[in-house]
Amino acid sequence: MPVGYPQDALVRIERLEKLVDQLYTASQTRPAQDVIRSAAVTIGDPDGAHIKLIPMGDIGAEIHLTPASGTNPTKLQADTSAGYPGEAALHIVSGDAGAVSSELLLASGQVSMRILDGGGDAGGFAYWGSDRARFGFIDGSNDNYFDFSGNGISRHYGQWEDFGSLASNAGVLSGSWTIASGFVGATVHYPSTMDSNMGPVASLRDGASNPNFYHCLTSSTTSSYDHDWSPSGGLGGPLTGKAGYFWSFRH
């Protein structure tokens, strides 16, 4: 008995082949991951140079950039905090948060850089805000920095190094000295001949309960200055011990 086929049988078979190909391709394709809720995604070699995207990091959304195996990553961290409600602050952190690291913070009205150790200030820092700027060194025990306020007032916190240990190119020398009774003056020598002319500003404290002298600076060079004194005509009295305090600047 003869068998009949539709006239478009070949066309139908071709369509079926295409559908089978499409079904096979779809079965071998992962669904699109346009949303990753919490798991980290690593791009590159996890044991070498790689980038890690972390939706839920230590403080917020993070991107870790690791240049090579065995190195700490540079972290880009976006977070919200009480200081900046309703907006994101960008942290760029280099180093291990549990050890020495450095941080750059960009936020509304604030830019800051600092050295950290275990999360606390441990070195140089700079801060620029909308009403204040600071820069210097902070570690909780040897703080030394400049502070510039929005009302035009500047301050220095810390100490000035003793003049006896400074080099010839130091901009400012400051210190103190003492001398026993009986002298009528003192020559204060700088630690070396300074690179340019010096401008000393000095004061004198008398060892007696009642000051009994006049005093003045009589000479100044790049290597020293002379501070002389004598009993006043009306007071008289012995030439008691003296203590001098000075600030001398290059100009």
Ordered DSSP codes for 33-57: -----S--EEEE-TTSSEEEEESS-
One domain, residues 150 and 195: no
- Total structural domains within the chain: 2
Rounded distance between C-alpha atoms, residue 42 and residue 29, angstroms = 20
Residue that finishes a domain, picked among 157, 184, 216: 157
Give the structural domain span for 105: 41-157
34 within domain boundaries = no
51 within domain boundaries = yes
pTM above 0.85, yes or no: no
pLDDT by residue for the chain (251 residues), tens only, comes to 566 666 677 777 788 888 888 887 877 776 666 666 667 888 888 888 888 887 776 667 788 888 888 877 888 877 766 566 666 677 788 766 567 778 888 887 888 898 888 778 888 999 998 889 999 999 888 899 999 998 889 999 998 888 888 889 999 999 899 888 878 888 999 998 999 999 999 998 887 666 667 888 999 999 999 998 887 655 555 677 888 999 999 99
One domain, residues 143 and 179: no
